[in-house]
Amino acid sequence: MTKMTLGAHPFLLGFDQLERLVERTAKTGNDGYPPYNIEQASENRYRITLALAGFHEDDLSITVEDRQLVIRGRQRDETDGRIFLHRGIATRQFQRSFVLADGVDVSGATMENGLLHVDLKRDVPEPVVQTIQITPSRDPQKKERAK
């Protein structure tokens, strides 16, 4: 028995890009760091908030690569001469990815009290109604049958 992929189903013509997005999302490492929230601010606005205690704006990079929002962080080691009895604040590098739907764009990012806020907006296109004309058949046998 062969396994049918999502894009091979006859009712899902043209959804091969969706299958690639699902595969890419499944491959993304999800170790839980840094923790994040995703909230819907309004009907077409969203906000991703990452808890980044100890990170500075210069330690972070935010890019959109092939409809994928990628947030990377690399903290500088500033332990010069300090001795920690307990170190519970993570200072490791990270990469967190989010797949963006078509029409969703990053509108801005702010850092506030150890929280990185990435704002997203979705542009809603005008609905398009297209009427398809049916052209008459040019088959001569069909004309004879009609007589």
- Considering the entire predicted model, what is its pTM? 0.65
The span from the CA of 104 to the CA of 102, in Å, is 6
* Straight-line distance from the first to the last Cα atom of the chain, in angstroms, rounded to the nearest whole number: 52
For 32-57, the pLDDT digits (tens) are 889 999 999 999 999 999 999 888 99
Q: Which CATH number characterizes residue 72's domain?
A: 2.60.40.790
67 occurs within a structural domain:
yes
Is 2 inside any structural domain? no
Domain with 47, as residue range(s), is: 35-77+87-125
Residue 70 belongs to some domain of the structure: yes
> Identity (one letter) of the amino acid at 37?
N
Number of domains into which the chain is organized: 1
Residue 132 forms part of a structural domain? no
Residue 96 domain flag: yes
For 101-147, what is each residue's pLDDT tens digit? 888 999 999 999 999 999 999 988 888 999 999 998 876 666 566 55
